Amino acid sequence: MTTVSRPNQDLIRPDKDKFLAEENPFEAMMSRFDYAAQRLSLDPGLYKVLRSPEKQVIVSVPILRDNGDVDVYTGYRVLYNTSRGPAKGGIRFDLNVTLDEVKALAAWMTWKCAVVNIPFGGSKGGVVCDPASMSNVELERVTRRYTSAIIEVLGPDSDVPAPDMNTNERVMAWIMDTYSMHKRHTVTAVVTGKPIEMGGSLGRREATGRGCMLVTRQALARLGLPLKGARVAVQGFGNVGSVTADLLAKEGATIVAVSDKNGGIYNAKGLDVADLLAHVKEHKFLTGYPKGDAITNAELLTIDCDVLVPAAMENVINSKNAGLIRAKIICEGANGPTTANADKILEDKGIYVIPDILANAGGVTVSYFEWVQDRGGYFWDEETVIQRLERIMVRSFDEVAGMADKHKLNLRIGAYMLAIERVAAVHRLRGMYA
Ligand code: NAD
């Protein structure tokens, strides 16, 4: 792997000082974007267009609490870029939602959809609220009021939400219903991640983890390492982490460690994923699982293994611990698990990082399949979903690796370059409506 020095970005980032913190999500995204744009020699006009979100909507979301009080929450929806198609991106309900974060995540979605070459732009949304303190009825009111507040931007042809932090298929069903009531007819394709009964896709639940397994398999093959017996550590044992662990184990890998937010379990001889899932089903967390040693999340990240899958949250691999990581491959199941400062440290150590915008793109790919099936009114069997997902993930991995090799860069910058080039190409073809 070739190490490259980063050019001075002062010339290209007039507002850089605003975004100096290592953990600022917009900075994490923009620093990679800037570097990739420079390597592509992106013309300055297009650079300015691509670093600006197309539309930012801020709304007040008043809701009636069960005790009769009225609360007003702030909601955001950012459409970052729609040149390649309708915007696509999740909605999160969380107290930590900020406009900066939503903008960064919307940009990420733009690049992610372009990396796997599906005809979507990128968006993201959120409501600043604490869903844990709400009843189900209050959650439904927030969802419906937020949906109606942003209804002008929503639609199968304009902006298609999906679940994200603290939102799920129940919330997607309410969004679909609210939108359909306003439109006076049922519009299934307005959201993805819906229950199967109302237009969801088979294979969506496992899609992100399946994508992680597929790109890990490709990366191991590329490095000449066997998948059978590869030692894998997975941080996060939710949707993405548990499915990745399960599918990699089924391919012959040895899962040596897993964790959730309360800590992890280590067993050098390998963990039985089905047994771990049964434990979590009964006890909610991995804590107390008897067939391994308890480890902390910090220890999990630095254990001796072949593949590390951070599949929990952002910024867990940073300048403080990147130097201690011993994995040969990192497959970024989570969004933004590695800070920009850590990139260089990992690259110097020769660690092969499969970046989030490629590694976890299986989810949005099957969301695309869901949207296609809803619009066509014709639903595929699970085997078809799995086959088509595999084709796209394998092709995308090869295209990103090809771009990285061509420019002697790491996969992350290769992925950004591929994505930026695809979005820029459409802008050039469409021309400037000025
Ligand atoms: P999830 O809620 O199902 O699971 C999250 C897991 O992470 C849980 O096991 C939780 O206990 C654990 N966790 C939380 N905080 C932690 C901490 N501080 N340390 C260690 N573990 C912690 O969520 P998910 O859907 O699996 O998503 C995980 C990540 O993948 C997120 O970054 C998400 O944005 C990203 N992602 C998810 C999808 C998808 O389709 N679900 C798609 C793309 C990206």
**Residues 164-196 pLDDT 10s:** 989 999 999 999 999 999 999 999 999 999 999
Q: What is the pLDDT of residue 31?
A: 86
Contact 300, 257 (CB under 8 A): yes
For the Cβ of 333 lying below 6 angstroms from any atom of ligand 1, the answer is: yes
CA separation (Å) from 249 to 54, 229, 245? 42, 9, 6
> In the prediction, which pLDDT does 19 show?
39
pLDDT digits (tens, 9 = 90+) for 160-169: 999 998 999 9
Best residue among 239, 287, 354, 389 to mutate for probing ligand 1's pocket (most ligand atoms within 8 Å of CB) is: 239
pLDDT tens per residue across span 17-74: 443 455 677 777 888 999 999 999 999 999 999 999 999 999 999 999 999 999 999 9
124 noted as active-site residue: yes
Decide whether any atom of ligand 1 lies within 6 Å of the 208 Cβ: yes
In whole angstroms, what is the distance from residue 388 CA to residue 382 CA? 10
In this structure, what are the phi and psi dihedrals at residue 271, rounded to the nearest 5 degrees? -105, 150
Residue closest via CA to ligand 1's atom 29 equals: 334
pTM of the model: 0.93
Task: Please tell me what DSSP assigns to residue 289.
Answer: -
Distances (CA, A) of 112 to 53, 83, 120, 122, 396: 15, 14, 9, 8, 11
Closest CA to 360 of 150, 213, 250, 163: 213
User: Is the dihedral angle over the CA atoms 360, 389, 89, 263 positive or is it negative?
Assistant: negative
- pLDDT at residue 3 tops 60: no
Residue 17's pLDDT is 44
Ligand 1 touching residue 108 (CB < 6 A): no
Rg (CA), the chain: 21
Q: Would you say residue 14 has pLDDT above 90?
A: no
Q: Which of 88, 103, 112, 124 is catalytic?
A: 124
Give yes or no for residue 13 having a pLDDT over 50: no
Q: Whose CA is nearest to atom 18 of ligand 1?
A: 261
